[in-house]
Homo-oligomer: A and B are copies of this chain.
Amino acid sequence: MNGFTYLTRFLSSHSSYSRLLLLSSVSTGGLLVYAESNVESRKQVVEENQSVSAKKRVVVLGTGWAGTSFLKDLDISSYDVRVVSPRNYFAFTPLLPSVTCGTVEAQSIVEPVRNIIKKTSGEIQFCEAQCLKIDPENNKVFCRSGINDNLVGHNDFSLQYDYLIIAVGAQVNTFNTPGVMEHCHFLKEVEDAQRIRRTVIDCFEKSVIPGQTDEERRTNLHFVIVGGGPTGVEFAAELHDFVHEDLVRIYPSVKDLVKITLIQSGDHILNTFDERISSFAEQKFQRDGIEVMTGCRVISVSDHFISMNVKSTGEHVEVPYGMVLWSTGVSTRPFVKDFMEQIGQGKRRVLATDEWLRVKGCNNVYGLGDCATVDQRKIMEDISAIFRAADKDNNGSLSVEEFQDVLEDIIIHYPQVDLYRKSKHLLEATDLLRDSKGNKREEVDIEGFKLALSHVDSQMKSLPATAQVAAQQGTYLAGCFNRWEQCKSNPEGPRHFKSSGRHEFLPFR
C-alpha cells in the first residue's frame, strides 16, 4: 500500500472546478437550493446528522501545507475534527517543477491525508469535497463532492462548526488575460505537473513525426514560461536539464531545434529575491541558452501564438509556441471572496487576519496559508494607548523602567519593533528612546515616544506565500488550540493595549 494508490482525483478534480457554483440564496432551514452555473438538475444539500458531543467541532478546509501541519500537531482529545478537501492527499508542492520533468516521481511527493490523520491519536473525519460557501452567521459550511455522477446519493452536504480553519490556498491568477485559461499550463497541483510532462513529451513526439518542416518542429519545441518567479525559473531550469541530459538521447534528430523562453513583465527575474540571486539566475540562463525576455507584458494567448507588448520599444510581438507555462502569481478562490464580502472584507484582495490568524470580522474563523494575510497592526495607530498602558504612574512621561516593562508585550503585538531594533542595532530598550541627536534619554513624553517609534512601521513585511510560512502558521495555530482550555483559565497572552483585543494565545511570531 503506498501513496500512489491514493492519487485518486487527478483527472476528475479538474472537471469539478468547472462546476464551481455560487450560492444564490440561503434559507435558514435544513434544505438549500442552489443555482448552478451549468444547468443541471437542482440538488439538495444534506444536513449532516452531527452527533452532539461535548467536544467543540472544528472544520478544516484544505489539506495543503497549512491545513496539514495544523492537523498533524492538533491534539484532538477535546475537538471533533472534520476535514474537507477536494484532494485526499497532501502534496509536497516545492517539488512540482521536478515532477514535470521526471526528476522526481509524482507518488514521491504525495501523502494520503488519512495517513496523516491516523498519526494523530484520535479520529478525524475526512471528506473529499470542495467547500462552496461559508455561512458565518450560522457557523456552517456548504460542500460538494466532485466525485463522478455515476455514483448514487447526494453530492452536497453541510457541516456545522464551532471553529473554522480556512486553509484552501490560492488559485491561479491570469489577470484576465484572454486565452490563458484555454491554452496555458499551470503548476499548482500534482495533476498539473503530470499534464505538463505529457505535453512536453507530446511536443517531442510530434516533432519526430514524418512530414513536419523544420519550422514546424521548431515551433512545437518552443517552450515558453510566462512569469519569472521561483516556479517559472525552476521549471525553466528543470526543463533545460531534461532536454539536454535525457531527451537529446531519445530524440537525437531534433535536439538542436529546442528552445526555452522565459517572459517577465518586470526588469528582472526573481525580483522578489536578493539582487545577487536574481542576477546569478539571469547569467546562468544566458549561459544555458534559455532566453529571458524582460519588460514584456503578455496581452493574449491564442492556440499557437503568445501576443505581447515590449515595454522598451512599444513593439507588439507574436511568438509561436509548443507549450506555455503560466506562473505569474495567485488570486483568491471564489468562495473565499464571497465569504469576505459577507464579513465586510469585500474591498480587500486577500482574506485578512489579525496577528493571531483570526479572520477579521469573525469570532471563530481562522485563515492560514496563501488564502490569507496577517494584517499587521501599525504601532503608530495604537501609540497613545501603548503610552497610556506603559505610563503606570500617570505622570505623562515614560521612564526607561516603565518602557522596559511593556517592551516584550509591544514586540509580541508589533513584530516590526523587533525588526527595526535589529536593523538599526538598537539592542537595549534605552537605545530605542534616544533623541534625534542620538543621545540617551531617561524619560520621554508622548511626543518624544511617537518620534522615537515613528519609523518602525516601515519595517513591516507581509509574509511570503511559501510552504514554510503556511506550515509554520498551521503549527502555531494547532499549538493555540491545544492550549485553549488552559489559556482560558490562565491567559498567557500579552497585556491589552487596546480594549478590543482577545488574547488567549501566544501570538504568531
Which residues in A have some Cβ–Cβ distance to B below 8 Å?
1-2, 4-12, 46-49, 88, 101-102, 105, 107, 112, 114, 125-129, 145, 147-157, 159, 183, 195, 197-199, 201-203, 205-206, 208-213, 216-217, 219-220, 245-246, 250, 303-304, 320, 322
Q: Is the CB of B46 within 8 A of A211?
A: yes
- CB atoms of B12 and A202 under 8 A apart: yes
Which of chain B's residues have a CB closer than 8 A to the CB of A219?
Answer: 151-153
Q: Are A211 and B8 in contact (CB under 8 A)?
A: no
- Shortest A208–chain B CB gap in Å is 7
Say which residue of B10, B213, B217 sits within 8 Å of A198 (CB atoms). B10
Chain B residues, CB < 8 A from A149: 303
18 contacts between A and B (CB under 8 A): A1-B245, A2-B102, A4-B102, A5-B101, A8-B197, A8-B201, A8-B205, A127-B208, A127-B209, A147-B209, A150-B183, A150-B303, A152-B320, A153-B219, A154-B209, A154-B212, A155-B209, A157-B211
Least CB separation from A126: chain B residue: B208
Quote the shortest CB–CB distance from A456 to chain B (angstroms).
Answer: 49
Known: A46-B210, A210-B46. A205 touches B10 (CB 8 A): no
* Apart from A8-B201, A126-B208, 15 more pairs, CB < 8 Å: A1-B102, A5-B101, A5-B246, A8-B197, A11-B195, A12-B198, A12-B202, A48-B210, A127-B209, A151-B220, A152-B216, A152-B320, A153-B206, A153-B219, A159-B210
B209 touches A145 (CB 8 A): yes
CA distance A129 to B206 in the complex (A): 9
Are A211 and B154 touching (Cβ within 8 A)? yes
Given A152-B220, A220-B153: A147 and B212 interface contact (C-beta under 8 Å): no
Residue pair A322, B209 in contact (C-beta under 8 Å): no
Contact A152 B304 (CB under 8 A): yes
> Please, how many angstroms separate the alpha-carbon atoms of A183 and B210 in the complex?
37
Q: A157-B211, A159-B210, A250-B114 are in contact. Are A202 and B1 (CB under 8 A)?
A: no
Nearest-neighbor residue (CB-CB) of A6 within chain B: B201
* A203: chain B residues within 8 A (beta carbon): 151
Chain B residue contacts of A216, Cβ below 8 A: 152-153
Q: Which residues of B contact A206 (CB under 8 A)?
A: 145, 147, 151, 153
A250 to B145, CA, bound (A): 18
Cβ contacts under 8 Å, A112 to chain B: 250
Contacts of A151 in B (CB 8 A): 202-203, 206, 219-220, 322
Say whether B304 contacts A197, CB under 8 Å: no
- Which residues from B are CB-within-8-Å of A148? 199, 202
